Amino acid sequence: MAYIKPEYIVDVMIQAGERKAQSSILHLTVKGAAAAVLLGFGVTLASMAKGEPQLGLAILFIIVACLSLLFILKLELVTGSFAFLPMAVMEKKAVYKGMLARWGWVIFGHLTGGILYALAYAGWAAHFNEAAAHSMASAAEAKTTAYAELGAPGVFVVLMKAIVCNFLVTLGIVFIMLSRSKGGKVISTGFLMIIFFSQSFEHAVVNMYAIPAGMLLGADVSVADWWLWNELPVLTGNLLGGLLFAACALSLVQAKEVSSQLLQTVQTNLPKAGIQRR
């Protein structure tokens, strides 16, 4: 599998952040909406797998295909931007105001795409796929009212799951970016999805579809429950996971790695005979 060397990982992330900073608001919003729909496809298929376990492996391959399209088509996820845009800002390749504006508009795109697909899916799932509809409703309650029943510890739990989630997702996106081949990107996406779904992490963009869909399909969840017990803490956790545990950590580690390699190169090229006396 052809790939870019790991020591260039920070450069790749900074360049990605610079490209996002230079993209128009309209393009980012539309790409954000499309990304939410593709993630919605994946969540819908996962709910179908719970209702029909015999289809689990086939559905997993379809989920990977859907999400591979997201990366191959270079659609927009705010969770990735939580790591890439701050790195571009730190390198003076972007400005804070533009970073915040792009985050806001991409989130708007995610909400638009997620809710529109939730309306479309709920319109037929309630009548033609009751098992999947029940699974979606149960998932929405597990992501909101289940945390509410725990009180303050519930907020801590959802925050931690969101931090770990975006640390994983950001590293996964970087791994996908490092691969030069389409096959490598698909394989990387597969590993990422297996880890994500098996751990039940909290991803803000996924929840912008999953929770509204569950609400429309009968979940006992209000809009306040959605935002107070899930969306706001998950967005916060995803931001911390992408910014602190991916962007800052990788910048620190790879900067030391590059400095060490540079020092080794300089020492290798120094004259071995030492300084000649005159």
- pLDDT recorded at residue 53: 58
Residue 156, pLDDT above cutoff 70: yes
Could you give the percent of the chain with pLDDT greater than 70? 82
What is the DSSP code (8-state) at residue 220? Answer: S
Residue 153, pLDDT above cutoff 80: yes
Which structural domain, as residue segments, surrounds residue 74? 6-256
Each residue's pLDDT tens digit, 205-263: 999 999 999 999 999 999 999 999 999 999 999 999 999 988 888 877 765 554 444 44
- pLDDT recorded at residue 149: 95
Please give the Cα distance from 126 to 204 (Å, whole number). Answer: 24
Say if 278 falls within a structural domain. Answer: no
User: DSSP H helical segments within 74-231, as ranges?
Assistant: 78-90, 96-128, 130-142, 145-150, 152-178, 182-199, 204-216, 223-226
Say if 266 falls within a structural domain. Answer: no
| Average of per-residue pLDDT across 27-53 | 85
Say if 186 falls within a structural domain. Answer: yes
Say if 269 falls within a structural domain. Answer: no
Residue 122, pLDDT above cutoff 60: yes
| Average of per-residue pLDDT across 65-71 | 78
**Burial (0-12, 13-18, 19+ Cβ within 10 Å), 19:** middle
> How is the chain split among helix, strand and coil, in percent rounded to 5?
85, 0, 15
Say if 271 falls within a structural domain. Answer: no
Each residue's pLDDT tens digit, 80-119: 999 999 999 988 999 999 999 999 999 999 999 999 999 9
Say if 57 falls within a structural domain. Answer: yes
Residue written as token pair 């705010």? 78
β-partners of residue 3 are 179
Residue type, 173: I
Please give the Cα distance from 161 to 157 (Å, whole number). Answer: 6
State the total domains in the chain.
Answer: 1
Please give the Cα distance from 15 to 127 (Å, whole number). Answer: 47
Residue type, 175: F
Please give the Cα distance from 64 to 189 (Å, whole number). Answer: 6
Q: What is the CATH number of the domain that holds 111?
A: 1.20.1080.10
Each residue's pLDDT tens digit, 172-213: 787 777 777 777 777 777 777 777 666 778 999 999 999 999
Residue written as token pair 């290798």? 268
Please give the Cα distance from 260 to 161 (Å, whole number). Answer: 34
Number of helices followed by number of strands (H, E) in the chain: 13, 0
Say if 139 falls within a structural domain. Answer: yes
Q: Confidence band (pLDDT; 50, 70, 90) for 274?
A: very low
- pLDDT recorded at residue 206: 93
Each residue's pLDDT tens digit, 12-38: 888 899 999 999 999 999 999 999 999
Say if 276 falls within a structural domain. Answer: no
Residue type, 31: K
Residue written as token pair 């593709």? 38
Q: Taking phi first (over 0 means left), then psi (-120 to 50 degrees means alpha), and beta for anything else, what does residue 201 get?
A: beta
- pLDDT recorded at residue 245: 84
- pLDDT recorded at residue 5: 67
Average pLDDT in the chain: 83
Please give the Cα distance from 124 to 221 (Å, whole number). Answer: 20
